[in-house]
Amino acid sequence: MNLVEVHKLHKHYGSNHILKGVNLDVKMGDVKAILGPSGSGKSTLLRLIALLEPIDQGSIRVDGIVLARNEDGHRKRHHEKDLAILRRGIGMVFQKFNLFPHLNAIDNVALALTTVKKIDHRNALDRSAEMLKRVGLSDRMSFFPSELSGGQQQRVAIARALVLEPKLMLFDEPTSALDPELVREVLNVIEQLAADGMTMLIVTHEVGFARKIANEVVMFDEGEIVETGTPEEIFTNAQHPRTRKFLEHVL
Amino acid sequence: MDIFLNAIFSVAYLKGAGISVALATLCQVLAVILGFFLTLMRVSKNKILSAISGIYIWFFRAIPALLLLMIFWFSIPEIFPLFRQHWYSPFIAAMLGFAVLEAAYMAEILRAALISVDEGQPLAARALGMTPSQVMRKVTLPQLIRIAIPPTANEYIGMIKYTSLATVISLQELLTTAGNGVNKTFRYSEYYAAAGVYYLLMVSILMFVQSRIERKFAWISITSKESQKAKR
Ligand SMILES: Nc1ncnc2c1ncn2[C@@H]1O[C@H](COP(=O)(O)OP(=O)(O)O)[C@@H](O)[C@H]1O
Ligand SMILES: [Mg+2]
């Protein structure tokens, strides 16, 4: 069963055509790695799948529900409040962590539980502590973001998304803002998630990592999917010249 | 010297200072509330609301405080009978006049603060499924407040001093009190110096309170707060 169906998706910013008819299906349990040069629209695609911005054309279905669709020029309006409810099922992790600086680690994780899920504070803290333990941060629960390393911040951000028990996790270059020695601790957490069967879309430049955990690699360039295949196919036998050119840069 | 000390410890001065602080505080609170709504209007997608707010800010930044005070005390009761009644005292007139004026400045301060909250913050909050009002209350506002505290404290301190303008509508605030003493005795230095001491004292207390509040917004854990203290 497809958890996500992206169909002929278009997005413009002003006169810039950013996404040019993207088609992408994600099945339950899929781990897809999205590769592509910077500025090609990868982050935009993730933000649209996370229902954070209106689409211009095409449709996105998540979990069987048509969440955003637009055919024959009619723009279907979604209310921010309805979208907010649908977004709970999708976790998103950003390149720059975007932790809430005014809350310590455990409150960062607990905030959505108390505000969005209306769980009482005590229970929320228990569950958040559990989640922080899972990402290896039991000893950092009362630390504020400014007191954590980049790798620790990103692990808190992952815990913050996971605590809502999403069906789908979206990672937008989760290790690109990290010092090299901190990359591994974050990738380990994501690898563990994959082993637990989480459905994930991961934008990354970490080729070795993509190769290890993805069941499919999606090559993205200039607002389009250029090529998809197993890691084996893409990394050893890319068909498209644009893929080969990109891989020469990152490998 | 006796006159100076007598003035400082007189009930009249204390009362005058009390009126100044009360007036400045009420004005500032009203201005922050009104300014916040002006800011929300200014940044809203609704062009009409945004324009109304823009015109308001433009207008009240252009009008001198003294002129506005005159308008609120003399012109408004002339035009609206409602304001000719007993309740409309110099204090109320000054409060409304200053609040309306200060709201324009607060709107600018709050708008600048709102813009400087990283756009990744509301984005992350929305991704967690928060509604727009939750995003504002739980994520944007605390960060906006932290940015806005120093300039707002600055405005508040300015407001304490601005209240002295209300002497022209014979509000019995601190400067008017000093003036009364001068008029009786023609001893300028003592009475005005005493007023100066009061202003110094009031502003010092405010600056102390400001630093306490800023420390609350340091966003570091207790342990590292203590270790920072230890370093000092
Ligand atoms: N909010 C926005 N407003 C205008 N242009 C944007 C916005 N977000 C992204 N873009 C533009 O869209 C293009 C694709 O950006 P992005 O999706 O971030 O690419 P990638 O993640 O692949 O580097 C870039 O040219 C970028 O400047
Ligand atoms: Mg990007």
Q: What is the number of domains present in chain A? A: 1
Burial class (CB within 10 angstroms; exposed 0-12, middle 13-18, buried 19+) of A21: middle
Work out the average pLDDT over B80-92.
Answer: 91
Which H or E run contains B150?
helix B141-162
Residue B185: per-residue pLDDT: 84
Strand order in the sheet with A16-27: A16-27, A2-13, A57-62, A65-70
CA A8, distance to chain mean position in Å, is: 20
Under an 8 A CB cutoff, do B128 and A144 touch?
no
* Residue A32 tokens, joined: 């897809």
Strand partners, A229: A217
* Residue A158 tokens, joined: 């992952």
Q: What is the mean pLDDT of chain B?
A: 91
Round the CA-based radius of gyration of chain B to a whole number and report it.
21
Instruction: Assess whether pLDDT exceeds 90 at residue B56.
Output: yes
pLDDT band at B168 (very low <50, low <70, confident <90, very high): confident
B20 min Cα distance to partner chain A (Å) = 34
Q: Report the candidate in A82, A69, A182, A175 with the shortest Cα–Cα distance to residue A136.
A: A182
Under an 8 A CB cutoff, do A111 and B224 touch?
no
How many C-beta atoms surround the C-beta of residue A33 within 10 A?
26
Residue A172 lies in a domain: no
pLDDT band at B226 (very low <50, low <70, confident <90, very high): low
Q: Report the candidate in B180, B139, B190 with the shortest Cα–Cα distance to residue B7.
A: B190
| pTM of the shown model | 0.90
Q: Cα(A137)–Cα(A152) distance, rounded to whole angstroms?
A: 7
* Residue B118 tokens, joined: 């990283």
The percent of residues in chain B predicted with pLDDT above 90, rounded, is: 70
Residue A89 lies in a domain: no
User: B2-231 falls under which CATH superfamily?
Assistant: MetI-like (1.10.3720.10)
A123-131 LR contacts (CB < 8 Å, sep 24+) = A127/A163, A128/A159, A128/A163, A131/A159, A131/A162, A131/A163
Amino acid at A46: L
Return the residue matching tokens 């009203």: B30
Least confident range from A33-47, B2-16, B43-57: namely B2-16
A93 min Cα distance to partner chain B (Å) = 8
Work out the average pLDDT over B32-60.
Answer: 96
Residue B224: per-residue pLDDT: 66
Residue A81 lies in a domain: no
**β pairing state of A199-203 and A31-35:** parallel
CA A234, distance to chain mean position in Å, is: 21
How many C-beta atoms surround the C-beta of residue A15 within 10 A?
5
Residue A1: per-residue pLDDT: 78
Q: Where are the domains of chain B?
A: 2-231
pLDDT along chain A (251 residues), means of 10: 91 95 95 96 96 89 73 62 88 97 97 96 96 96 96 98 96 96 96 96 94 95 95 91 88 72
Residue A206 lies in a domain: no
Q: Cα(B57)–Cα(B83) distance, rounded to whole angstroms?
A: 25
Instruction: Assess whether pLDDT exceeds 90 at residue B60.
Output: yes
Question: pLDDT tens for residues B103-155?
Answer: 999 999 999 999 999 999 999 999 999 999 999 999 999 999 999 999 999 99
Residue A86: per-residue pLDDT: 87
> What is the B112 CA–ligand 1 centroid distance (Å)?
24
Residues in A touching B219 (Cβ below 8 Å): 101-102, 144-146
